Amino acid sequence: KPADFHEPHAVETDDGRIVAQIRYHGNGQRANVRMWQSESADGGKSWSVAGETDLAGLPPHLIRLRDGKLVTVYGRRFGAFGEYACVSDDHGRTWDVANEIKLAGHFSSDLGYPASAEMPDGSILTVYYQAENKGELTCLMGTLWRLKSGE
């Protein structure tokens, strides 16, 4: 149902579509661990039915890089806690989950809400919140990173 979907983020692709990813809290679960995705080919007038992705974490933040690749970043508040990124080479139709990038690990689930921007030199700055050390309050942190050639 619509009330189970929260915190969407969207980006326009080089081929003119809009790709949106959404945090989902349905099926009676307190926090579903996978993001859902929907797409529009008409500037947002109509959308595909949202479907579950293999991206484990939430909420999403999407950017389109200058080379056309899409990057999504998300926090993982279960299992191996931390901030993660995943890349799509085909305008968001598929995501390279097998080569997911761990940007920053963490010791607890109190983390997340990452957002990214591509810097002029091609690196990516991702900011998020989490504590630096156990016993400290959370703060705004960042990771400056870049895709390896061929990613």
SS3 4: helix
Structural Rg of the chain based on CA atoms = 15
Roughly how many angstroms between the first and final C-alpha of the chain, as a whole number? 36
Average pLDDT (136-149) is 94
User: pLDDT band for position 28 (50/70/90)?
Assistant: low
* Better pLDDT: 52 or 26: 52
Q: Which residue has the tokens 């579950």?
A: 52
Collect all residues with Cβ–Cβ distance below 8 Å to 30 and sequence separation of at least 6. Answer: none
Q: Write down the mean pLDDT value for the chain.
A: 93
Enter the tokens of residue 59: 């909420």
Q: Strands, DSSP E only, in the chain? A: 5-12, 18-24, 34-40, 51-56, 58-64, 70-76, 82-88, 101-105, 112-118, 124-130, 139-145
Residue 140 has pLDDT above 70, yes or no: yes
